[in-house]
Amino acid sequence: MSEKTMTAAINEAIDQEMARDERVFVAGEDVRVGGPFGTEAGLHAKYGDKRIVNTAISELALTGLGVGSAAVGLRPIIEIMIMDFVTVAMDQIVNQMAKMKYMLGGQARLPIVVTTHAGIDSSSAAQHSGSLEAWFCHVPGLKVVMPSNAYDAKGLLAAAIRDDDPVIYVSNKRCMQTSCEVPDEPYTVPLGRAEIKRPGADLTIVATGRLVIDALEAADELAARGVEAEVIDPRTLSPLDMASILTSVRKTNRAIVAHEAVRTCGVGAEIAARIADEAFDYLDAPVKRVGAPFTPVPFAPVLEDLYLPGKTELMNAVRDIGLI
């Protein structure tokens, strides 16, 4: 075990999976010099041009490269540096990657991972700050992963690379330099399994990405006031581990769902709806949702701070359900 940032943990996962399986390669813009967030740092010197592939600035083309190479037996990692840029590649992701196995009657496997970086980071403005994970949760045939810490980031990425289905792997930018203890050896974190990050009996907080960190901070403050919040990180958004979430809600009788993405039609809306569908009789208060307002992300730092949901919004939601 050693202390690693999320960036370093992702880099280590890619390195170890490339060493384990010669079919794994990385393609993307600027990946030979380490990629936009350093997740491919040092890999070109180790694996060369054929396995660390710099591409033209065309997300549609590089994603098509991934689909074609996966269909003939390789295991590509396709780096789309900023999540907003997936808009350019939606045909390849939604119409080809997600549907090819089904349309060919299972004759083709698509072991492809699309890695990308979502969320707000230092006034990057509306075209570089999106959190679009809910788009892909709506598409049958895709798995969607969103880690919140370095340990999960490494294990989930290794599992995604080994998976025979296409995976959208979303890293929140504000999590990249957070750190924790991470095993040096290879390991996997199973896809489709949530984790209780903090146990509690009074309230369930389901949070994704950076909001997991904010939820844990809110839970510490709540504990000082005599309220024990259980914090659950789904880790995989599709398939979603609703069983773990529902078990928690049936115990605590209250729920808040939180993410950085726009609240309207976000992943939190689906989780809240399923809690209402499947655990309504256990609820002592309405399910509350925390998310960003329905507007493009502003550039101005003061407006960006107002836009960004976090601990303050979580505490306001706790007040709304009458626990403080």
Confidence of residue 145 (pLDDT cuts 50, 70, 90): very high
Instruction: Check residue 287 and give its pLDDT.
Output: 98
CA distance 189 to 42: 24
Q: Where in the chain is the domain with CATH 3.40.50.920?
A: 195-320
pLDDT score recorded for residue 110: 96
Residue 315 pLDDT class (50, 70, 90 cuts)? very high
Q: What is the pLDDT of residue 61?
A: 96
Chain segment 46-86, per-residue pLDDT in tens: 999 999 999 999 999 999 999 999 999 999 999 999 999 99
CA proximity to 154, closest of 118, 119, 179, 129: 179
CATH architecture of structural domain 195-320: 3-Layer(aba) Sandwich (3.40)
Tell me what the mean pLDDT of segment 104-122 comes to: 95
Token pair in block for residue 254: 């209250």
Q: What is the mean pLDDT of residues 187-198?
A: 98
- What is the average pLDDT across 29-42? 96
The amino acid occupying position 155 is: G
pLDDT above 90: residue 122: no
Q: Please, where in the chain does CATH 3.40.50.970 lie?
A: 2-182
Residue 266, pLDDT score: 97
Whether residue 189 is predicted with pLDDT greater than 90 in this model: the reply is: yes
- Using 50, 70 and 90 to split pLDDT, how confident is the model at 318? very high
State mean pLDDT over 295-308: 96
- Residues with catalytic annotation? 59, 128
Contact 314, 288 (CB under 8 A): no
Tokens of 272: 């809240």
Listing DSSP states for 136-159 in one string gives HHTSTT-EEE---SHHHHHHHHHH
The reported pLDDT for the residue numbered 109 is 93
**For residue 237, what are the CA distances in angstroms to 9, 135, 145, 211, 322?**
20, 11, 6, 14, 29
Is 67 in contact with 96 (CB distance < 8 Å)?
A: yes
The strand ranges marked E within 6-140 are 24-28, 52-54, 75-80, 113-118
Determine what percent of the chain falls in helix, strand and coil, rounding each to the nearest 5.
45, 20, 35
CATH ID of 2-182, from 3.40.50.970, 3.50.40.10, 3.40.50.880, 3.40.50.1240? 3.40.50.970
